[in-house]
Amino acid sequence: METLSVACEACPVRNKAICAALSGPELSGLRQIRRHQFIPAGQTLVWEGDDAFVVASVTAGVLKLTKSLGDGKEQIVGLAFPADFVGRPFHDKTMSTVTALTDTEVCVFRREDFDNFAREHPELEHKLLERTLAELERAREWMTRLGRKTASEKVSSFVLDISERLSAETCHGSTVLDRFELPFGRQQVADILGLTIETVSRQMTSLKRQGLIGLSGRRTIQILNREGLAKAAES
């Protein structure tokens, strides 16, 4: 992993990440204990079950969170997008393996340093609590998506979820994208949803034929009928 020199003021997720709760001297203090790193696609940041030495905030790219199964396979249990926080403060073990799905940049903190800083700044602890509760709700939705939805419902839900997770920040607030590029290929989409790549491709084509989405190349998606797509995603 390569260490980068990036100023907090130039961070593209400054207003969305957990550090948005800080300003002035507080932000300067957090900057002193972080390092900005580049993680190439396929490289792992932390391993499930290892001692939790670091936590991190994603500034660019996408990470996958996985757990090992009894047969040696892995199950993707979540994704981390820009402004998401990975790792568990105040916990001495890593709960999942965190690997870069795409070339990724993260602000990394030694967990012990971050824990001490968070204890001294209640506003940061509050932000962490909000993120934890949001992640819990997202995990519940993920379980529903993988366990009860049909292939068509899974893919429809996934497209909506990605458009929201890649939402753009504007001067008027957050804007959900109707046209976006998937940050990973269809094989990775299949792995995330527990489907085959052939099934993902068929479902994408079906949604296109229904006039719900437009497809350009292998990764560009345009949502043409968000309401219709939401209905297609319902179980």
Q: Domain extents for the chain?
A: 2-134, 148-233
The rounded distance, in Å, linking the Cα atoms of 4 and 7 is: 10
| pLDDT at site 1 | 66
Q: Which CATH superfamily is domain 2-134 in?
A: Jelly Rolls (2.60.120.10)
| pLDDT at site 70 | 78
Tell me the mean pLDDT in the region 93-111.
93
Tell me the mean pLDDT in the region 202-222.
94
Statement: residue 156 has pLDDT above 90: yes
**Share of residues in the chain with pLDDT > 90 (%):** 45
pLDDT higher for 219 or 9?
219
Statement: residue 72 has pLDDT above 90: no
CA distances from 78 to 31, 84, 108, 169 (A): 27, 11, 19, 23
Which CATH number does 148-233 carry? 1.10.10.10
Statement: residue 170 has pLDDT above 60: no
| pLDDT at site 12 | 81
| pLDDT at site 112 | 94
Q: Phi first, then psi: give them for residue 151, nearest 5 degrees.
A: -60, -40
Beta bridge partners of 233: none
19-43 pLDDT, tens digit per residue, is 888 878 888 888 899 999 999 999 9
